[in-house]
Structure 1
Amino acid sequence: MPNPKPSPAKEGGNEVLLRQRYNDPIKLKKVLDEMFGEGKYGVQTRSTRWILRLPEAMPKEKLAKIEETIRSHYNG
């Protein structure tokens, strides 16, 4: 299966390290596109951890929603 990646990381912005490890970049891209719009964020991986580069500060509640939505893939 190909490994599609969300848009390349943008310069500047706010960086957020996701606490959990995920293997489904398509699900992450879908969630981030809905929240910020396509191409308005960046994603980088380092040691199977995902680093988000976002156009705005990420409230803890919003980050929790992203992680819960992506994690639900593994609970279903």
Structure 2
Amino acid sequence: MSTKEAERISSAQQTLDILFEMSQLLNTQLDKETLATCVGMIENGVNPEALAAVIQELRRESVALTAQSAATSPAEK
């Protein structure tokens, strides 16, 4: 690996670390891997607002499914 490539990777990692710290301060509940995926998607042209809306909708669906599962689990026993 060339020095230039190593510097680019180091810079990208530092940037991701800073973004992750900001994410934690803003209580986004995104782990580092998910944040990196989102950044990559945005860099490839995904609309950030649309991505945020999708993440929010997925979280709502997850909560609803968890609540539904909890409501039906006792009846099945």
Global fold match (TM > 0.5): no
Structure number with the higher strand fraction is 1
Q: Which has the higher contact order (CA 8 A, sep 6+)?
A: 1
Computing the radius of gyration from Cα coordinates, the structure with the larger value is 2
Structure number with the higher helix fraction is 2
| TM-score in terms of structure 2 length | 0.29
